[in-house]
Structure 1
Amino acid sequence: MMRIVKPKTKRAKRILEKRAPKLDENPKRLMLLQGTKVSSLIKSVISDLYHLKKAGGNAVKFSKKNDNIRPFEGGGETPLEFLSSKTDCSLFAFGTHSKKRPNNLVIGRMYDHRVLDMIELGIEKYKSITELGGGRKSAPQEGSKPCFAFVGEAFESKPELVHLKEMLLDFFRGEVVESLNVGGLDRVFVCAAAGDKVYLRHCGIELKKAENSKFPRVELVEVGPCLDLTVRRHRKPSDDLRREAMKTPSKTAKKKVKNVKGDSLQGKVGRIYMPKQEVEGMALAKMKGLKRERRQAAVAAAETPSEGNDQPAKADVPAAKKSRV
């Protein structure tokens, strides 16, 4: 039965609101785990992935060994789904090491805390961040958005490499933004496909002065992690589950309010239209000398001067009443 969780504290309420479905989803979090047997190479790879994704709390790393997680076996993904619901992670990376599959790394995606798809990679060669990028000025900043360059026709033709391309873009894209400062593009992932191998290089971008140009010269310096990979197994989602996961709700457009706009400094700013005010028709207490009839008589007398006299004629004044004897 579905159980409705009701928060008992304000902190729990904030956590549930953060995990609730939204029109603009939160950045995807990565869950890093290891199996019963792991090599030092796999441990270093997991540590480097955590270093790249930990900014903003977008990565959760488990140090305990898990012997009951077998992603490609029936029922073996149940512990992954349980941990995903506990940590609210939609991406996972699971490292193991065995004689049959040495230096094995499984990366996958979740939908509604269920395994959507995953791909199994074998790591043949590896260079860590400490070995290449430790203390370098060109080392990328944590939380910056990387560029991606996919070299090779196989990323468009081979199904397993098309799947790997989608997975890598989803792993490292971070938060979706509308605009980006060019100065923040300080690293790039270069993925090259040659034969059955995939060469993944994480490089820092250095801008140097060019001799005969006003634009800087771009150089790429390996900062790690850099891996040579082989695709072993991959599992795509079913058509129904993929269609459900890719469904996007229609965003309700806000009703436009006339004559109102927003400002970053003043906040909400509005414009008011005032009708023309008829001051003369207003019922106000007027003085005796300001009455309209007196003003009009004075103006008429000033415009028609009397004959034989240059001075303007005076306004007609009523005769004085006769006094009684």
Structure 2
Amino acid sequence: MLRIKTPKSLRAKRELEKRAPKLVELGKKTLILHGTKTSNVLNSVLTEIYHLKKDNSVKYSRRNDNIRPFESGGESSLEFYSLKTDCSLFVFGSHSKKRPDNLVIGRTYDHHIYDLVEVGVENFKSMASFSYDKKLAPLIGSKPFFAFMGEEFENVIELKHLKEVLLDLFRGQVVKSLNLAGLDRVYVCTALSSNRVFFTQCALRLKKSGTVVPKMELIEVGPSMDLVFRRHRLPDEGLKKEAMKIAPELIKKKEKNVSKDPIEGKIGKVYVPDQQIGSASLPFKVKGAKRERREAKANAEGNKHAEKKQKRDDADA
């Protein structure tokens, strides 16, 4: 028998309610961890990622000797930290002779490893190395644009997987409407080859253009780096099917005979059955028909009087 622990205080109860499943989930939290050994470059990369996601991330500074994401048995500590901090994403940095400046980005489902992507960091430049106005620094809680340039992001499976993970890592909470004032940065990912991606961040400055649509200017503010693809692990099909389930309350019912067009918008078809107008009784009186009935009645009375007169004349004779 499994014992179910109940919260003993209101604070613990509130925390459990926050972690409970919701119909519309909040933004995913990111856990940032260090491996057994890390380099100065990798420490800077992890710090920069933490600053970019400071409103929704947890960073541990201690070394972790027993975390090996791609090895069996080396994921238990990682899953424990994910459960402890309630994080659905993690970034793990390690450095070795075989894999220098190694960065592992992964996602979890129900605090179990969902998928993994391993990249190497090269040509790293921090935000401090760029000279720009400090007013252009990204604000906490703002929404970024994403620009993926290169057909490799659609044709190469490895880069397509990396694209999905980067989107999950930096996009924050999914919203339906946006304010232009909250769009202040752009993440630019350029596929240099089938296994190398240039990643950088640009500040977005809106200027007057004389029209309703403002003019946009991009200013590179960093960090920038080359991500060299090394390894990846796709999610299991059964786990993927379980993670992709949608609550019945969120499924929109299909409207019959309704279609959407990008130009005309919402288009609907109305089917009208046969009204059978010929046999229907009219609720109103037609003046022309009333006059015809009056004339027919007068003619009938005239014929009647004529017949009576003819009978009297025949009787007198």
8 Å contact kept, 1:133–1:224: no
- Displacement, 1:250? 0.9
- Displacement, 1:216? 3.9
* 1:206 corresponding residue in structure 2: 205
CA RMSD of aligned residues (A): 1.8
* 2:227 corresponding residue in structure 1: 229
Give deviations 1:102-146, integer Å, cap 9, x for gaps: 000000000001000010010011111222267522221122110
Q: In structure 2, give the amino acid aligned to 1:34.
A: H
* 2:186 corresponding residue in structure 1: 188
From 113, 116, 120, give the equivalent of 1:115.
Answer: 113
* 1:30 corresponding residue in structure 2: 30
Structure 1 counterpart SS, 2:70 = coil
Structure 2 counterpart SS, 1:108 = strand
Q: Relative to structure 1, is the Cα distance of residues 208 and 66 closer, same or farther in structure 2, using a 3 angstrom cutoff?
A: same
Greater Cα offset, 60-69 or 172-181: 172-181
Structure 1 counterpart SS, 2:216 = strand
Q: Relative to structure 1, is the Cα distance of residues 182 and 65 closer, same or farther in structure 2, using a 3 angstrom cutoff?
A: same
- Displacement, 1:65? 0.3
Identical-pair percentage: 57
Alignment of 1:47-126 (within 5 A): 47-55=47-55, 58-126=56-124
8 Å contact kept, 1:133–1:139: no
Q: In structure 1, give the amino acid aligned to 2:144.
A: P
Q: Relative to structure 1, is the Cα distance of residues 199 and 213 closer, same or farther in structure 2, using a 3 angstrom cutoff?
A: same
What is the TM-score with the length of structure 1 in the denominator?
0.73
* 1:13 corresponding residue in structure 2: 13
Give deviations 1:15-52, integer Å, cap 9, x for gaps: 00000111111211000000111001111111111111
8 Å contact kept, 1:207–1:219: yes
Structure-1 separation of matches of 2:108 and 2:2: 20
8 Å contact kept, 2:23–2:250: no
Alignment of 1:209-288 (within 5 A): 209-210=208-209, 216-251=214-249
What is the TM-score with the length of structure 2 in the denominator?
0.75
Residue 129, structure 1, aligned to residue 127, structure 2: yes
Structure-2 separation of matches of 1:245 and 1:36: 31
Q: Relative to structure 1, is the Cα distance of residues 146 and 136 closer, same or farther in structure 2, using a 3 angstrom cutoff?
A: same
8 Å contact kept, 1:122–1:229: yes
Q: In structure 2, give the amino acid aligned to 1:21.
A: P
Structure-2 separation of matches of 1:237 and 1:162: 14
Q: In structure 1, give the amino acid aligned to 2:36.
A: T
Structure-2 separation of matches of 1:5 and 1:205: 49
Structure 2 counterpart SS, 1:178 = coil
Structure-1 separation of matches of 2:5 and 2:199: 43
Structure-2 separation of matches of 1:26 and 1:41: 32
Which structure carries more helix by proportion?
2
Structure-2 separation of matches of 1:92 and 1:231: 17
Structure 1 counterpart SS, 2:59 = strand
* 1:41 corresponding residue in structure 2: 41
Q: Which runs of 5+ in 2 are unaligned?
A: 252-317
* 1:146 corresponding residue in structure 2: 144
* 1:256 corresponding residue in structure 2: none
Structure-2 separation of matches of 1:31 and 1:229: 20
Instruction: Tell me the matched-pair count.
Output: 250
Structure-1 separation of matches of 2:158 and 2:185: 26
Structure 2 counterpart SS, 1:60 = strand
Structure-1 separation of matches of 2:3 and 2:219: 52
Q: In structure 2, give the amino acid aligned to 1:244.
A: E
Give deviations 1:193-251, integer Å, cap 9, x for gaps: 021310111100122345x8775432111111111111100000111110001111111
Greater Cα offset, 131-140 or 87-96: 131-140
